[in-house]
Amino acid sequence: MTTRDPDEVLARLRELRASDAPTHGGRVLSYVYDSGLAELDRLAADAAELVRPVNGLDPTVFGSVAAMERDLIAFARTAFGSPEAVGTITSGGTESCILAVASARRLSGLAAGHGNVVAPSTVHAAFDKAAELLGVELRRVPVDPHTTRVDPDELAARIDGETFLLVASAPNYPTGTMDPIAEIGAMALERSLPLHVDACLGGFALAWWPKRTPPWDLRVPGVTSLAADFHKYGYAPKGASVLLYNDRDRHRAGYFATADWPGYPIVNPTLLGSRSATGTAAAWAITRFLGDDGFGALVADIDAARAELIATVNAIDGLRVVGEPFGPVFAVAADPTSTHPIDPHRWSDAVRARGFTLQAQPRYRQADGTDLAASTHLTITPVTRRSVGELSAAMVEASRDARSLPPIEAPGPLRDLAAAFDSGAVTVADALGLDSVTTEAVLIGAGIDPHTDPSQTGEAIDIGAVIAAIDVLPRPVTARMLTEFLASYTNPAPEG
């Protein structure tokens, strides 16, 4: 439907936005990072609007981009303890991770089809993506399933002649645990391997953390690069991250440049060509406005809310905080030592019924056969402090609702499919060989119909059932089904 009335166009968009999860107010404890400062959001929007027509592809033509990037890199390298560091502003964490791997890969001199990256098994899936795109192997080294900490000796044991990069997280996403970066750094130095610290999640919170942090940043001997997302605890709208290097040549190795085609000379520090400067401008404006004091005050709010919520979980019989999280996120799992362990996904469903959306994480089987328990993830933002009493109460009440309930089961047809894999009647190769029409039919048969729009039917997708399905099916099959689901969900339904 077209209309010449801009108000009508925008009215429709407002309607669409009304069906979104709330981005503000601390109701959703993942994906969004609300400072709770309305003036900060306005400032970011105004800054983004000022540079909206600019193309970040060429900072020599659009000098504002170069100036903002210099300021952001200066800000970040001071925050992360390396006044001499150099770096690149990227569109987000995934792009920073891919570039960190690409630059190390290029410097390694390994031939195509060779090379591996060694990291604790809790490292972000962006590194799986980087490995797949670059044709290298990611070796996820099992962590202690209880503490979720990695033993640096076990990391060392997976290193071989084709290892070109070590990665550690500060902290990791699934459990909020800090990897032992000082020890891993020492090990990296001994072996002359680069060490990238993924601080995409927590970097801009840890830098102002009110308590003594374990060593984690560019000051740690052996650390060669570090990335942190402005669009997480830098409170910027999506589209800004920074990737810093202690070494200029490592940084340059991430660039793509060519003058060997008939068009304009290309110099790309990032994966994109033409790129928006809006994320950069928003992040730039926010760092100018907040400064050290502003970041420090917001982090104090996060720490206070986090402490209260962790105390709440610790007081609930049947739940436990996973491992020893440090920083702004943590995860909650069933307490196996309790006589009434609570299923964390039943619990998050019950919390959602009380107005707060937490993020379900499936069980993860590590390479050594041990499991990281199914859990529920909480990202704490400054605004959480305002509703911490209400959220705590919801968490306690939800535990009563969830206590007597068994874990959520996958839909019957997917359980049948899982049984067919177990008995060998169907193989993973069979399943991956199905075309998308058949794969979609399997999903629809299981009651997961990508063409029912929850904003129309008012029926949210049953995340508990989806997570339960992930748990019973072979993971490559799940990945295939997730692809099919999202591709169908974001495409118009077939006509007729």
Ligand X SMILES: *Cc1c(COP(=O)(O)O)cnc(C)c1O
If the CB atoms of residues 173 and 347 are measured against ligand X, the closer one turns out to be 173
Sort strands 371-372 and 375-379 into parallel, antiparallel or unpaired.
unpaired
Q: Is 10 exposed, middle or buried (0-12, 13-18, 19+ CB in 10 A)?
A: exposed
* Residue whose C-beta lies closest to ligand X: 93
Closest contact distance (angstroms) between CB of 92 and ligand X is: 3
Angle among Cα 326, 327, 333 to the nearest 5 degrees reads: 60
How crowded is residue 6: how many other Cβ atoms within 10 Å of its Cβ? 8
The token pair at 331 is 């995860």
Contacting positions for ligand X (CB under 6 A): 92-94, 97, 124, 126, 169, 173, 198, 200-201, 229
The rounded distance, in Å, linking the Cα atoms of 342 and 350 is 11
Closest contact distance (angstroms) between CB of 374 and ligand X is: 19
The rounded distance, in Å, linking the Cα atoms of 39 and 35 is 10
If the CB atoms of residues 97 and 243 are measured against ligand X, the closer one turns out to be 97
The phi, psi pair for 423, rounded to 5°, reads -80, -10
3-state helix, strand, coil in the chain (%, to 5): 45, 15, 40
If the CB atoms of residues 164 and 173 are measured against ligand X, the closer one turns out to be 173
| Contact by Cβ (8 Å): 180, 154 | no
Closest contact distance (angstroms) between CB of 80 and ligand X is: 15
Closest contact distance (angstroms) between CB of 197 and ligand X is: 10
Closest contact distance (angstroms) between CB of 8 and ligand X is: 34
Angle among Cα 26, 27, 30 to the nearest 5 degrees reads: 80
| Contact by Cβ (8 Å): 411, 448 | yes
Q: With residue 378 as reference, give the H or E element that holds it.
A: strand 375-379
Single-letter amino acid, residue 477: V
If the CB atoms of residues 236 and 443 are measured against ligand X, the closer one turns out to be 236
If the CB atoms of residues 124 and 139 are measured against ligand X, the closer one turns out to be 124
Sort strands 163-169 and 195-198 into parallel, antiparallel or unpaired.
parallel
If the CB atoms of residues 124 and 385 are measured against ligand X, the closer one turns out to be 124
Closest contact distance (angstroms) between CB of 169 and ligand X is: 5
User: Distance between the two ends of the chain, CA-based, in angstroms?
Assistant: 19
If the CB atoms of residues 213 and 399 are measured against ligand X, the closer one turns out to be 213
CA 387 to chain centre: 24
Closest contact distance (angstroms) between CB of 229 and ligand X is: 5
If the CB atoms of residues 198 and 484 are measured against ligand X, the closer one turns out to be 198
The phi, psi pair for 164, rounded to 5°, reads -120, -5
Closest contact distance (angstroms) between CB of 52 and ligand X is: 21
Closest contact distance (angstroms) between CB of 1 and ligand X is: 33
Closest contact distance (angstroms) between CB of 182 and ligand X is: 19
Tokens 């374990």 belong to which residue?
Answer: 214
Closest contact distance (angstroms) between CB of 301 and ligand X is: 20
Closest to 94 in 3D by CA, of 17, 211, 179, 201: 201
If the CB atoms of residues 201 and 468 are measured against ligand X, the closer one turns out to be 201
If the CB atoms of residues 36 and 92 are measured against ligand X, the closer one turns out to be 92
If the CB atoms of residues 91 and 108 are measured against ligand X, the closer one turns out to be 91
| Contact by Cβ (8 Å): 230, 204 | yes
The rounded distance, in Å, linking the Cα atoms of 184 and 165 is 12
Closest to 124 in 3D by CA, of 214, 251, 27, 232: 232
The rounded distance, in Å, linking the Cα atoms of 40 and 296 is 15
**What secondary structure, in 3-state letters, does 268-295 show?**
ECCCCCCCCCHHHHHHHHHHHHHHHHHH
